[in-house]
Chains A and B, each alone.
Chain A
């Protein structure tokens, strides 16, 4: 079998590369070691050269930069148009895209447009024929290995944080090309910054985070009380808790919330979906309390407790208070 090229679509926003782009580069290199083929970065931007050079330098990969006025911001139609044409010209074996709000927006459509396979949210792969991609299902309770079954290009989106970026040896070469890319009627209207937060979780030393397993907003007093026992304690939350209106957005930890790295992260009734754990996996010590022993959160935790929080937290709070008073 002839080895086919591996294309890596570089993600950038507001003139900056997103860290996941370097993870994609490392993923592409790992894949090339088993599947063969060369790896090339693809930058869609306007102007394209600065981002392309930055990526070529930080990844060490050669870069093809596609330039079009529609690439000054992310535009799904324009991306699809240009990438579909690139795929038909170069016939790559794999096209690697970040599993981010932009990546998962165009990746499945690109797969359809080029009659390719599509695997989303992968976290790694298993060498062999065919190559099998790892991905979690059922909120992380089951792991799977999936494989593309079409002989055309495989479109794959990589979960941010799943692969460690590697140090480049030397900067790759950059080629800039002006391309056609119609946007149809789709118009990018710009970014809207997150509302200002009165709570900066990144400064907290201890985060006590509430998940749906707390049972209801009436039980959040326990979370607040425990957090208040630490000098720099704060209340965090999983997405479902914020969606349900139990706590405001500024408490949310995870992909669509804040990324935190406290000394202690206490996950209370949080199932442990990867979108949440990627926002807190850098905490020094992660403690998870959940009634479900199969909850995915225990795969991210250092210490696990299978208990009902409404019974356990009062005991923990009393004990901690006691220790603090006695200066133990």
Chain B
């Protein structure tokens, strides 16, 4: 397949990191009024953890190759700007909000199409995404974006190395049971990054304060063409408590006593 999307041959390597603003995973979630997702009000949002591994990997590539520019992009309501500021405090040079205030980009295809429409003429050499989002856990946006941009792609990447000539990238993908699969892709390419690929650093206070002052450019979704959704959520509900789970109650002493009695009765392991 010919690749219409190629680097500009310049000496600067351009990396795009896609980030998502997601609620703290420890939150107590409620179903929204429409019954089609989780209620966002009252939740504390931060950056999707997997995207932080992607961001750190971009910074490490810059440390190795020096002439590297890192841009961060997100699709979401204005609150998602905070995710971009976080990415910028960690080392992204630019941040762009694709403003989906009216929440029309509900499927991964829509999100990927918006990013693709914006990124198409930017000549990124490498696009990095988190392997999935902590909230919707679809794992679709990255590979769909790759396909829309006609980029080769590797998902669940747990190690990567760009060749000295910057023309290819070798990745290790994580498989089941700790096994890995090695794959080489020509650049430009897209990777989705698995947690554990690196240890993300913390942003320095200076950087946090610096990016607070910056104005983040925002692009309305309307300027990026149609929003093609391909999947819809018809119903969201709290899962029923498992009928098999018996909760032990009382003070600590009482709970420990009951637990040991029940364990001993069912599986004699001491």
State the A residues within 8 Å of B (CB): 13, 73-77, 80-81, 100-102, 104-109, 111-113, 116-121, 132, 135-150, 182, 184-195, 205-206, 229-232, 239-240, 242-243, 245, 249, 252, 255-259, 263-264, 271, 284-285, 287-288, 292, 294, 296, 298-307, 311-312, 315-316, 319-320, 323-324
Contacts and interface: CB of A to CB of B under 8 A. Distances in A.
A316 B256 contact: yes
Contacts of B37: 137, 142, 144
B152 A185 contact: yes
Nearest to A303: B246
A182 B1 CA distance: 8
Contact of A137 (B135, B146, B247, B259): B135
B178 A257 contact: yes
Contact of A145 (B183, B234, B267): B234
Interface string B227-261: 00111111111110110111110001101110110
Given A230-B269, A258-B177, A117 B155 contact: no
Contacts of B229: 149
Interface stretch (B6-14, B26-34, B90-98, B212-220): B26-34
B231 A147 contact: yes
B270 interface: yes
Nearest to A249: B178
B37 to A, nearest CB: 8
B144 A194 contact: no
A284 B139 contact: no
13 contacts: A77-B152, A108-B108, A142-B29, A144-B37, A182-B1, A185-B168, A194-B178, A229-B270, A301-B242, A302-B244, A312-B255, A315-B255, A319-B253
Contacts of A13: 175
A112 B148 contact: yes
B104 to A, nearest CB: 13
A186 B185 contact: yes
Contacts of B179: 191-194
Given A256-B174, A264-B267, A319-B256, A191 B239 contact: no
Given A137-B135, A191-B181, A319-B257, A108 B236 contact: no
Given A185-B168, A258-B177, A305 B259 contact: yes
B contact patch SS: mixed
Interface in B123-143: 134-140, 142-143
Interface of B: 1, 3, 23, 25-29, 31, 37-38, 108-109, 112, 134-140, 142-144, 146-148, 152-156, 168, 170, 172-186, 195-196, 199, 229-239, 241-242, 244-248, 252-253, 255-257, 259-260, 262-263, 266-267, 269-270
Contacts of B246: 302-304
A102 B239 CA distance: 29
A105 B29 contact: no
Given A109-B144, A142-B239, A320-B270, 5 more contacts: A101-B156, A143-B238, A191-B175, A192-B182, A240-B195
A101 B173 contact: yes
Contacts of B177: 194, 256-259
Contact of A303 (B25, B140, B195, B262): B262
Contacts of B181: 73-74, 101, 188, 190-192
Contact of A120 (B140, B175, B185): B140
A191 B263 contact: no
A184 to B, nearest CB: 5
B19 to A, nearest CB: 18
Nearest to A320: B260
A102 to B, nearest CB: 8
Contacts of A188: 181-183
Most buried by B among A116, A136, A186: A186
A109 B185 contact: no
Nearest to A192: B180
Given A105-B143, A108-B144, A142 B238 contact: yes
The 6 A-B pairs at the shortest CB distance, nearest first, are namely A194-B178, A185-B186, A189-B182, A112-B147, A243-B196, A108-B143
A189 B236 contact: no
A320 B139 CA distance: 43
Contacts of B175: 13, 100-102, 191, 256
